[in-house]
Structures are given as structure tokens and as C-alpha cells.
Structure 1
Amino acid sequence: MMQNGRDHRIDFFRGLALIFIFWDHIPHNPLAELTVRNFGFSDAAEIFVFLAGYAAALAYGKIALRDGFLIATVKILRRAWVLYVVHIFLLAVLMGIVFFANSHVETRDLVQEMGLQYFLSNPQQALTDELLLRFKPNLMDPLPLYIVLLLGLPLVLPMLLRKAVYVVCVSFLVYLLAPVWNLSAQEGGVWFFNPMAWQFLFILGGAAAMTAKRASISQVRPLMRQPLFLTCVTYLLITGALALSWKWPALHDAVMPVWLGEHLYPISKTNLSPVRLLHFLALVYVAAKCVTQGDWLNQWLPRQICRMGRYSLEVFCLGVVLAPLADMLNALAGDTTVIKLFSALMGVGMMAVLAAWLDWNRQLNTRYLKTTN
């Protein structure tokens, strides 16, 4: 079943994920200590992919039910092509910014840090790999992943609308193969976000969109009497405490049993380690139960974040461009705490302004169409 109304919580958490991704991409940013990656095993990337699947299934599912699967497929492929063109253009802009910044920052090698030395050493092959989505310097991994996931959506959308549980089961089987199955990247490497693993999160988001209406039914029992809710909260508290202990290695070594550490680490982000996946799913479940729609979404700050979430592609691209610029500004200003806070907040402000402009432009176009019809 699909919701008739728009769930603004999805926009809010999507916008929040974009802010977290931007802050996490600025080296030594104090505000990055506040992002979700510091309080558990998962981070903003899981939020972004899950909600991308939710939004895509919801939007194209409605088109498929209204106009047919062929029209929905054409629109999906057109969107994937737009994302591909944006990826090529954004990478060119990013390289220009990093090379410019590197010529002004003498204390660090920004080209090396951003993973662009491959382009300098082998430009012809790098350009070919860029067209094949194999050349992905730092900050550029999410877009190629989203393109691949979107291209696979027409294959599962019909069944996702009818029997989402079957699609989830098949997707889970593909997820289990992820450790031995990945796409190739530049210089013999593999994709940082393994599509075979992360597709499961994308599909889970799509399945959640299909069942959102039933999930919104009021609870029979209080939350504190629901075993699944209590289990999720307990897991979040334990993993949160463990993640915080990483900041103090001596404390972590003292409380972490050796046998458990041998089984737990490394927690793979590439293949979406099961403990990362479970942490994110517990986070989603608790958030869905505790964070309800209400007047708080009409407050000024949540409205700005929701607007950023509605224009996630444009805001994400701006964040990719602003992150190295903020890093350059911090380095030129001596990496002081004040300038780091200023650049991080100014970047979010610019992202919010872009979202506001896009929203105003859309409303203007809507009014124009109404007056001409």
C-alpha cells in the first residue's frame, strides 16, 4: 500500500543526512563529532541510501500504477541518465577546485588526500574510467552507487508493488554474496560502496515505502512494553557506547574482550557489515516509533532541513563542491576552531539557500503553468 500524503519526516531525515555527509567530508571538522557515525556502527550513508530507495519506490511506484510500468521505466532511465551527466560534470568541477586549492595550500597535499593522483599519473585511462564509473575519488562514491541502484529499479518495481517481501528475500540473497562479488574500480580496486551489498538497503527502503500505510497504524501497547522496540534500543545503547569508546583506545581495549573483537572487527562499510546493517535498522525502527509527524516540523529550522531533503541531488552536489573549499579555507586560516565552525555552518547555510531558491523557482513555475492553462 502507498501513502496518499507526503511524510515530511522522510524529507527531514534526508536533509539531516546531507548535512552530516557534508560535515563528515571536511577534515578535522569539530561539528563532525556530532554526526551519527560517532554514536554507533552506521552513518549518514545508510540514511541516504535507504531513503533514496524509499523515495524512488514511492515516486516511480505511483507513476507505474497511474501510467504503466513502461512509462515508469522510461522516467527511471531518464533520471539515471541525468545523474550520470551530473556525475561527470561534478567530477570535473571537483578536480578543478582541488587542483586550485592545492596550489594555495602549502601544508598539505590535497590532491593526494582527495584521491586524484591517479588522474595526474594516468589522465587518459582516468577519463575512460570516469565514463565507466570506475574512477571515483573521495566524496564521489555515492552518486555512481545511486545510478547503478536506480538502473536496477525497473527490474524489481512490478514485484515490489505487489509482493515486496519476495523482492526483499532475493535482495538479501544477493547481499550474502557481497563479500565475493564487487564491481571493479581504478587501478585494480573495487567500489568503496559495493552495489551488491548496498542494494539491500535500497530495496529495504523501497519495501518500507510500500508498507508505510500499514506501519502507521496506532500502537496497541506502549513502546516500553514492546519486546522488539526494547531490543532495538538496547542494541543502539550498546553499540553507541562501544563507538564512543573508540575515541579512547586504552578504555576500549580494557572493556572489549579479545574474542569478541576478533569476531567483530573489521566492521566493513564496503560490504555493509551485518552489525552495521543491524545498527541502522534498529535506528530506523526506533526513529519510526518515536519521531512522529507534528507541529515540530513546521518550526523554522526543521522546515529548512526538510526543504534540503526535497532537493537532495542538488544539495548533495553543492556539498561535494563546498567540502574541499571549506577544507582550503580552514588550512589557509591556520585550522583554528573558530574558522572550522564558520566554514561548516556557512556551508550548510549555502546548501539551505540553494534549496530555498529551488523551491521558490518550482513554485514560480507552478503558478505560471496555472495562469497559462
Structure 2
Amino acid sequence: MPETKTPLPSGARDPRLDFFRGLSLVMIYLNHVPGTIYEHFTSRNFGHSDAAEGFVFMSGCAAALAYGPKMAEGLNWPIFRRIWGRSWLLYMVHILTAVWAIAIVSGAALWFGGEALLTKNAFLPLTTEPLAFLVGIATLGHQLGYVNILPMYAVLLLGAPFLIRLGQRWPLGLLAFTIGFWVLTGMTRLDLPNYPFEGGWFFNPFAWQLLFSLGILTGLALRNGHRFVPVKSWLIWPAALWAILCAIWVKSDYLMETLGHVVWQLRQWGAPFFLVDFDKTYVSGPRLTHFLALGYLLSLPGIVPRIAASAVMKPVRLLGRHGLPIFATGTVLAIFAQAVKEVHPGGFLQDTVLILGGLSIQWAFAAIRERIKRPPQSAAQMPAIPTPGVPALPDPHRFAAAAR
């Protein structure tokens, strides 16, 4: 039976996007407060990829949904101004979060005996090369640990108009370009430079553009009412088997040793590192294929879309609708939680307060923003756009702009 196409009206939202983006924000916060029991329940403990891959993929999807309709007739100056303005906003938010991270760590070291924090997460040049450190922070050449994903996203947005337009005109051309550029990046180790440290960015935008572009292709297809990758049994079973194998792999010492030796042997035979290693900077093969398998399975019609659209998941969708401010707030709160744990290790009760308290603050902030930025009544009365297999939600907030 041919696939039914129901184009997504401009301004409408797919609840799955908000849900998974909100879920990614929760898991990023848990992962950014290491040493708690809660970090053991995030996706990185059940495969080779983590929430960062999902966040970048969904950012590409949201960009296509938000900006694609305004590029239907081609590239134009208003769309450049809007997207590049968003990139500038990301830079400013990154600088703000970096300044707060520096202030929190500095305060912990000055007044609470947290000097050890200055030796972690790339804070050391603050004490050894303070002038070079400041230059690096401002120019994005020096990025602090746990405060380093927004620069990559800002760079990706600079190229977003061209990627979206290419995806509109020639989807397979964008697919070929993004895979080819990823391969070229891995083969040449192309990256943006660090300063004052040597090397390149941890989140290499030239490699991560692959996930961003795949998100664009997915978003463009969603806007047109169909899937970029169709539902096929010959795709479902390999994806499911690979996701299961990866989940067992990361939990099994035997598989870690055995398959780790296989990877080592492939490297000895000359296999490119970015195809077989577990390098996050270059979105290496095992991480990429695990994310693609997991993303494909989660996109299938049925129970997952129903969960994403359910009333009980409304708080998670609320976080996802306000992705950038919630991510920035969570980043600052995570650095604060790290400082608290360094100064006072505490235990399960303290960890619970830090984790649940931080998530509660983020949710409250999102709720306040939702209240302030509630769309006018005329916009709220737009018809509901059902996710495949999911009844339309009566929540009018879903129909605000597709990406803030």
C-alpha cells in the first residue's frame, strides 16, 4: 500500500520531537553530574551513543521544520538573517554559560576548598595561562568540559541554509554530501583548532554535521507528510539486533574484550579509525550505527509515538519545547552540582536533591517561559496534527513556532 502523505502545516509541532528533545535534555543533565546513581539509567549505558547524538539530530530536524517553509522559493536574505541570528544567539548563550561555569568553579576554589576543580574539565589554563585562557574562551578555541556543545551547534547553523535548501531540491544529494564530508573529515582528521591547548574541538562540527543533516532530511520529510526512511521489515530486524547487541556489548566484559580485540585487529589491518573506533569527536562508526538503529526503532509507528504524545509525558515535552534556555540552565546547574559534590561528596540523599532539584528548576523555568510566551488565541485554534498512530492532542501549546 502506498504511503499516505499528510503535509504538516506551518507552525504545527510533532509531539515526538518535543518529547525526545526533552528526554535528551534530562539525560544530558544526569550525565553532566557524574558520580550519582542516576547516570546509570541514561542511554549511554545501553549502547555506544548517548543523548548528544539525539540532541544534534533533533536540532537538525527542528531547523528543517522551522526554516524549511520559508525557503520554499529558494535562499533569501531574511532566512539567512534569521538562521545566522540564531547562531549568534547560541554563541552568546555559550559565553554566558562558560562565564557562569568559571564563576562557580572559582567560587568553590576560593571559599570552599574546591581547588581540585581547577585541574579538571579544561579549567587548568585559568590558573597557568589566564590571558590565553580568556582569549580561547572568547574565540571558542578553548571550551570547558560539559560546556562545549553549543559552539558546534552554532557552526552547524551557519551552514544550515545551504543544507536545508540542498535537502529540499535534492535529498539524495544532501545525503551523499553529508556522508562524503564525514568520510573526508575522518580521513584527514579535519577539525577546528583549539587555543591554548593543541588539537581540535571535542565536538567536531565537520563530523557532527552528518547527524545534523540527517535530522534535516528527516524534518523535511516530516514536513511533507512522509518518512525519509520507510518502515521495512528488512530494516527493522537488523536495527533491533544491532541495538540489542550494543546493549549487551557495553555490559559484558567478555564482549568488551573480544569485540575490542576485533576492533584493534581491524585497525592493524588499516581500517580507518573513524569507522571502527569509539571516537565521539568524529562520530565514529559504532556510535553512528547504534544511534541510527535506535533512532529508527524509536521512530516506528505504534507504542513509542503514543508514549511521546501521552498526557503523562507533558512535562518532558515542555522541556523539549524550550530546548536552548533549558540546556543552558541545565549546564550551569550541572557545574554547580559538580562543585557541591567536590566540596561535599555527600551520598545518595544529596545526589537526589541535586538531581531532582536541578530538574525541577529546569521544569519551572520552562513552565514560566511557556506561560509568558503562550501564543494568541487565534494561533492556539490551529487544527491538531496527529502523529502516525497517535490521536491528536488538544494541547494548544504544541502549535507554537516549530523551533525556538
TM-score by length of 2: 0.82
1:354 and 1:291 map into 2 onto residues whose CA distance is 30
Q: 1:329 aligns with which of 340, 344, 357?
A: 340
Report what 1:298 is aligned to: 310
Which residue in the other structure is 1:263 paired with? 266
What amino acid is aligned across from residue 343 of structure 1 in structure 2?
Answer: L
Select 1:133's aligned residue among 140, 143, 160.
Answer: 140
For residue 32 of structure 2, what is the amino acid of its counterpart? H
Which residue of the other structure, out of 72, 78, 100, is the alignment partner of 2:85?
A: 78
Q: Percent identity?
A: 28
Of residues 105, 128, 133, the one that matches 1:121 is 128
How many Å separate the matches in 1 of 2:180 and 2:339?
44
Report the 3-state secondary structure (helix = DSSP H, G, I; strand = E; otherwise coil) of the residue aligned with 2:250.
Answer: helix
Q: Which residue of 1 aligns with 2:8?
A: 3
Please give the residue correspondences for 1:81-100 in structure 2 after superposition, counting only pairs within 5 Å.
81-100=88-107
Q: Which residue is equivalent to 2:226? A: 214
Kindly provide the amino acid, as one letter, of the partner of residue 327 in structure 1.
Q
1:359 aligns with 2:370: yes
Separation (CA, whole Å) in 2 of partners of 1:49 and 1:15 = 13
The 3 A distance-change label for structure 1 pair 299 and 229 is: same
Contact kept, 8 Å, 2:29 with 2:330, in 1: the verdict is yes
Q: How many residues align?
A: 359
Match of 1:192 in 2: 202
Task: Give the secondary-structure state (helix, strand or coil) at the position aligned to 1:182.
Answer: coil
> CA–CA distance in 1 between the matches of 2:68 and 2:260?
47
Amino acid across the alignment from 1:263:
L
Match of 2:158 in 1: 151
Q: Distance in 1 between matches of 2:229 and 2:177?
A: 28
Alignment of 1:161-200 (within 5 A): 161-179=168-186, 180=188, 181-186=190-195, 187-200=197-210
How far 1:102 sits from its partner (Å)? 2.7
- Residue aligned with 1:190, SS: coil
The amino acid that maps onto 1:3 is L
Query: What displacement does 1:209 show?
Result: 0.8
Structure that is richer in helix per residue: 1
Give, as a single letter, the amino acid of the residue that structure 2 aligns with 1:183.
Answer: L
| Structure 1 residues 146-186: Cα deviation after superposition (integer angstroms, max 9, x where no partner) | 00000011222222222122011111111001222111012
Structure 2 gaps of 5+ residues are 268-275, 381-404
Q: Measured at CA, do residues 118 and 218 of structure 1 come closer, stay the same or move farther in structure 2, by a change above 3 Å?
A: closer
Q: Does 1:273 align with 2:273?
A: no
Alpha carbons 1:12, 1:305 under 8 Å: kept = yes
| CA gap 1:266/1:157 in 2 versus in 1, 3 angstroms | closer
- Cα RMSD after superposing both structures: 2.6
TM-score (ref. length: structure 1): 0.89
2:239 to 232, 249, 259: 232
- Aligned partners of 1:227 and 1:368: how far apart in 2? 45
CA distance in 2, matches of 1:217, 1:242: 26
CA contact (8 A) 1:64 1:71 kept: no
Ranges in structure 1 where 5+ consecutive residues have no aligned partner: none
Structure 2 CA distance for partners of 1:92 and 1:228, relative to 1, 3 Å:
same
With 291-300 and 165-174 compared, the bigger mean Cα shift is at 291-300
Structure 1: distance between partners of 2:86 and 2:61: 16
Residues 299, 305 of structure 2: 8 Å contact kept: no
